[in-house]
Each structure stands twice: as C-alpha cells, then as structure tokens.
A = this chain, B = another copy of it.
C-alpha cells in the first residue's frame, strides 16, 4: 500500500477531477463545502482520496494566519506534575483540531525567551505557560504578542494573563484544619521558593490558616527549590530551630518527601513523632512509605480547563479572570495525632525510623 508519495497538491486533484483548483479548495474545506455542487464535492473527495492528497498546512496558514497549533511551555518536563496536565491539555486541544508543541525551559530565562520566539515564529495560535515566575520579565515581553496567553499552575503578579490554578489558600487551609483537628499545635511550614506564585501563595495560606486557628507566627523554613533535596534541608533547618514541632505542612509533595528524609536522618518517625502533609498528590504518593496525606486537585482538569480558556481567547472571546480549581484533602498515613513525648532532640541516624505503623491502604 501507500504508494511513494511525491506530494500531491490541490492542483493535481483539480486536474484529475476536471475542475478548477479553487473549487477543490472549497470542496475540501468544511466551511465552504456548502458553496459547491454536492456531486462535485463527492467527485473531488473521491479523487483526493485516490491520489492520497494531504493538505499543506504551511500554505494554508500562510494565507489564513491560523496554524491550528498551540505552544505549551513548562519549566521541567520530567516533573511528575506535568504528564497529567499535558494529557488534559493535549486531549481537549486535539478534539478541536489543534496540535500541541511542547518545550522545556529547564528554568533558564534565556532559553525561555528562545522558545517563545521559536513558537511565535511557527505562528502558534496561542500559548499555555506553566513557566511563569512571580515577577516575570520574559512573560512581559510576550503579553502584547500576536498569540493569546494562558497561565497554568503558576501565575505572575501582573494579572495581565488569565491563569488556571489550584486554590492554594483553601488547599493549605484544609491541611491545617486537619492537623489542628488531630490536636497539633506546633505546626511548621516548609515553604517553596517565594519567587513562584505557588510558593508564595501557599505560604500566605499557611499564615492565614494559622491565624484563623489563633496561632500567629508559626515557623516557616523556605526551600530553595521544589525538590526533595531542598525539602530535606529546609525541614532540617525547621526542626533545628523548633525541635518541638509535631507537624509540618510542606508546600508540595516533593518537599514532603524531603521532610521524610530529614525525619529519618534524625531518627524521628512519621507520623509517630512528626506528621507531614504534601500538596499535589503526585502519582504513587499512595505507595510511598508512609503513604502521604496531601492536597489533591485534578491535574488533568487543570490542563483541560487551560485549554478551554485558551480556545475561548483564540476565538476572540473575552474571558473572566482566573480559574481556581477546588482542592481536596486526601488522608493517608503520614498524619496522626501528636504523641505526648516532648523535648526530643537526639539526632542519631536510625535506619527504618520512619516506618509507619501498619494501616489499611487506600
């Protein structure tokens, strides 16, 4: 099958079907199909199929100024957060005939610039950015560009582009209420980088929820990045400064895993000695040890929602402001009531210290 294909164009189809090539164009495009005699439409379609005609989108987007492609820019493709988001974006765009170009900035602004430039040159009809910083110079350069922009997961502080976000204030609130409900009083926060909206907002949420519970000035340690290692360091710092801490709210799951490491390193058990909560509910968080209590929002929905928002904007519609996804708390094994013990301090690297007590899973 599949005869060697020396690119057949609309003109060759026209010749074979015995009509003018403009008629072929009209016959093949859903929008104009109605304007041509049904008999001819049928004939043209049949010839096109027979010759193996494939439209050349480069030509058509040159003429129409629409490429039916959108660009997705992420800070780190390898993160476990993106597969589901990307999946949501890609599916809803695909349904509308759009293809998705994705690129990874590796957190490098220069690279970010180059990528956006390359995408715009490819005439993308719109952009979804998961790469926004809180004060984002790169973003500024493109807000007036030809392609509408939607932010996802993170936002910037200009408010000039609509964003699809988890409702972090509420999400962190849920975690705090849960811990307070268990009886925790000495709660600390391992915050994410304050240059990112997620880091900053969750920290604000932590302070606000603390205040609501009548506890001002709960301790916070800021991690240098959203990574397990940074979480370990920040948690260690937190525990050094506040050894009596019985619960830590981590700004995301990776940081929470780092907290596990820090606890293990000083022979503390989770949740026996210290409870830990995460944020995001990454895949497999139900399988780590102990299974992580964390705040979930539907990643796939976040992607789909961003895609829908972008589709609306590309269609020229004005859109209301940001979209906040409702978070929910998922209870697992990393949180428990505080133990009576007080004044711990011993460091020793006890292996296995953080095994959770047996508990039913799921």
Contact = CB atoms under 8 A, between A and B. Distances in A.
Interface of A: 1-5, 7, 54-59, 61-62, 67, 69, 76-80, 82-84, 86-87, 90-91, 94, 97, 99-104, 106, 115, 117-123, 140-146, 257, 264, 282-284, 287-289, 300, 351-352, 355, 358-361
A61 B76 CA distance: 29
Contacts of A146: 5, 7
B83 A87 contact: no
Nearest to A349: B360
A121 B264 CA distance: 55
B99 A87 contact: no
How many chain copies? 2
A56 B62 CA distance: 8
Given A5-B146, A80-B283, 18 more contacts: A3-B144, A4-B144, A7-B146, A54-B120, A57-B121, A57-B122, A58-B59, A78-B84, A83-B83, A90-B104, A91-B106, A99-B122, A100-B102, A287-B287, A287-B288, A287-B289, A289-B289, A351-B361
B289 A117 contact: no
Given A2-B145, A62-B62, A358-B355, A77 B87 contact: yes
Contacts of A99: 101, 103, 118-119, 122
Contact of A2 (B7, B86, B143, B288): B143
B352 A359 contact: yes
B78 A80 contact: no
A78 B289 CA distance: 23
A284 B228 CA distance: 11
Contact of A90 (B56, B103, B288): B103
Contacts of A284: 80, 282-284, 287-288
A126 B174 CA distance: 48
Contacts of A94: 103-104, 115
27 contacts: A2-B143, A2-B145, A4-B144, A5-B146, A54-B120, A55-B121, A56-B62, A57-B58, A57-B121, A58-B61, A58-B123, A59-B62, A67-B122, A76-B87, A77-B83, A78-B83, A80-B83, A80-B283, A91-B104, A99-B101, A99-B118, A100-B103, A102-B102, A287-B287, A288-B289, A289-B289, A355-B358
Contacts of A59: 58, 62
A210 B121 CA distance: 56
B104 A87 contact: yes
Contacts of A91: 104, 106
Nearest to A253: B284
A351 B355 contact: no
A124 to B, nearest CB: 9
A298 to B, nearest CB: 12
A361 B55 CA distance: 56
